[in-house]
Structure 1
Amino acid sequence: MTRPAHDDQPSPALAIRAQNVGVYRTGRWILKDVDWEVPAGACVAVLGPNGSGKSTLTRVISGYLWPTDGEVSVLGETFGEVNLHELREDLRLVQPTGLAEPDPEMTAFDVAVTGAFGTVGLYQETSDEVRREAKRLLETVGLSGSMKTPYQNLSSGEHIRCLMARAMVRKPRLLLLDEPTSGLDLLAREQVLATIQSLHDEDDAPTVVLITHHLEELPPAVSHVLVLDEGRVAVQGKPEDVLRSDLLSAVYRCPLEVVQADGRFYSRVSPGAWASLLRRHD
């Protein structure tokens, strides 16, 4: 792969720049030779099968995993030259399940408000400005009728949308969404995708990185796709250039057909190919 030329200093127009990034653990390279640039304000996706390195790359970008090789710059700051704790004030990571879950008895509104403090509970008074912003964001993500509902009574899809609203209260510059539609039914998935699109369409929207297994989970806002395969970059570029049947069939080891409609991409596998899939060996 031909790597692009770079200046010595990170460009302020880039939200993420990874150069030759590799992560070596337990005797193998989980990531290797990853070059990736994400323009500020863009909505991009990281795509690939299980074990391709998507979550590892997310942990590297969020500063929770130090790369073995290469250089990483996030929001114009180079790792190794910046206080990562301070840098994380400008980015948010949203996952279906995290290490710290909100108090299940808190209302959806209070959970959203905690985003102003980066805590899982409300331990101090909140300003009227924060409360107005939390209310506005819950309305944006389609939870205007659930603000007083206990978090434990929300559906899985509503949990994710509530956490997205929570993540946006402090207006992060970078929003990382790690498989936000995992385990959701069709309606909940589409509501989450609509939420991503609506957040991207807002004024001063953050850079959004969406990590997923499936083409169907890419909203039209996605302008760039990075496809990983066994820890390496298989291909990257505009969706219409990358999301092709031949390229993705090779990555997923499965004869699939990619179709496009209304800015969305979908994959199809013919039942006629199932017999050959069952005969394959790892």
Structure 2
Amino acid sequence: MDQAARPQGLDESTPESLAVRARGVGVYRQGRWILKDVDWNVPAGACVAVLGPNGCGKSTLTRVVSGYLWPTEGTVSVLGEAFGSVNLHELRESLRLVQPTGMAEPDPEMSALEVAETGAFGTVGLYREATAEIRAEAERLLATVGLRAVMKTPYQNLSSGERIRCLMARAMVRKPRLLLLDEPTSGLDLLAREQVLATIQSLHDQDDPPTVVLITHHLEELPPAVSRVLVLQDGRVAAEGDPESVLRSDLLSEVYQCPLEVVRADGRYYSRVSPGAWSSLLSAGGAD
């Protein structure tokens, strides 16, 4: 880990104040370590990001934290419960994982409101009639994420950006304590991406917000709410800490193997690559 980016008092935080606590976590599959020696603290109620290039282990770490992948080594505690001594099925009632394309897709003919309501039951379909309280909460959350006008629209007719925001509203119906967002802006155009980021910010700005973990490749996809960033490189921690100390040009140029400049504006970060570097990038690629 980059020493300058190591958070002060990493080992002094009490488990009760952490939504996620990982120590020495490694995942070994098909002859290689996908994750190795990962130490990570996620403060309860914070909005944090996991950043890194393709294949660095971001989604694997998400699967470990959500209890869908057991680590080969190390210890993991989520919401104060240690893996190995907690019922993972019960623990998952307090956390939600949102992905643009999940293992189970909602019924395409269901309305956006009905999809959001299924979050109260933990099912893909709506097999029970939602109570007035559930419906009111689903409507409130859809309005919060900017989907008030399309509540009655079939899910299949929503745009990609509207679908991911609908799934975020669905995830929040049962008020989870931990919300895992695995590349929620993947494949979206500029407007849809910004709407998703605005949604993340709005959820964090609510009273008693859930802990939010955002998985992404790109600096541009970090909303101002992000207070800590974990950077992964080849399955290991390259840096962890507050955005200002971690999102540095020298560090990220090494992680992404690309000469880039980090620019900050209005609480957000952006990466710039000079066209003058393109020839060297192509030469490097041809040498592999």
Residue of structure 2 in register with 1:14 after alignment = 18
Matched, 1:116 2:120: yes
Q: Percent identity?
A: 80
Q: Is the 8 A contact 1:10 1:17 kept in 2?
A: no
Matched, 1:276 2:256: no
| Aligned residue among 235, 240, 258 for 2:244 | 240
Per-residue CA distance 1:246-278 (angstroms, 9 max, x = gap): 000000000000000000000000000000000
Residue of structure 2 in register with 1:229 after alignment = 233
- Aligned mates of 1:196, 1:5 — CA distance in 2: 26
- Aligned mates of 1:68, 1:205 — CA distance in 2: 32
Q: Is the 8 A contact 1:91 1:172 kept in 2?
A: yes
Per-residue CA distance 1:196-244 (angstroms, 9 max, x = gap): 0000001111000000000000000000000000000000100011001
Q: 1:37 to 1:5 in 2, by over 3 A?
A: closer
- Aligned mates of 2:279, 2:121 — CA distance in 1: 53
- Aligned mates of 1:240, 1:181 — CA distance in 2: 23
- Aligned mates of 1:6, 1:246 — CA distance in 2: 27
TM normalised by structure 1 equals: 0.98
Counterpart residue type for residue 24 of structure 1: Y
Counterpart residue type for residue 53 of structure 2: P
Q: Is the 8 A contact 2:115 2:166 kept in 1?
A: yes
Per-residue CA distance 1:56-81 (angstroms, 9 max, x = gap): 00000000000001000000000000
Matched, 1:50 2:62: no
Name stretches of at least 5 consecutive residues in structure 2 with no aligned partner.
none
Residue of structure 2 in register with 1:179 after alignment = 183
Q: 1:34 to 1:245 in 2, by over 3 A?
A: same
- Aligned mates of 2:131, 2:208 — CA distance in 1: 22
- Aligned mates of 1:149, 1:129 — CA distance in 2: 21
Q: 1:24 to 1:271 in 2, by over 3 A?
A: same
Residue of structure 1 in register with 2:38 after alignment = 34
| Aligned residue among 39, 62, 67 for 1:63 | 67
| Aligned residue among 72, 75, 83 for 2:87 | 83
Matched, 1:165 2:169: yes
- Aligned mates of 1:185, 1:249 — CA distance in 2: 25
Counterpart residue type for residue 245 of structure 1: S
Counterpart residue type for residue 282 of structure 2: L
Residue of structure 2 in register with 1:188 after alignment = 192
Q: Is the 8 A contact 1:112 1:169 kept in 2?
A: yes
Structure 1 residue 5 displacement after superposition: 6.3
Q: Is the 8 A contact 2:23 2:75 kept in 1?
A: yes
Q: Is the 8 A contact 2:10 2:41 kept in 1?
A: no
Residue of structure 2 in register with 1:252 after alignment = 256
The 3-state SS of whatever aligns with 1:194 is helix
Structure 1 residue 6 displacement after superposition: 3.9
Per-residue CA distance 1:152-204 (angstroms, 9 max, x = gap): 00000000000000000000000000000000000000000000000000111
Residue of structure 1 in register with 2:219 after alignment = 215
Structure 1 residue 125 displacement after superposition: 1.9
Structure 1 residue 128 displacement after superposition: 0.9
Residues paired across the two proteins, number: 281
- Aligned mates of 1:134, 1:235 — CA distance in 2: 38
Counterpart residue type for residue 62 of structure 2: T
Q: 1:130 to 1:234 in 2, by over 3 A?
A: same
Name stretches of at least 5 consecutive residues in structure 1 with no aligned partner.
none
TM normalised by structure 2 equals: 0.95
- Aligned mates of 1:45, 1:76 — CA distance in 2: 20
Q: Is the 8 A contact 2:264 2:270 kept in 1?
A: yes
Structure 1 residue 99 displacement after superposition: 0.6
Structure 1 residue 12 displacement after superposition: 1.0
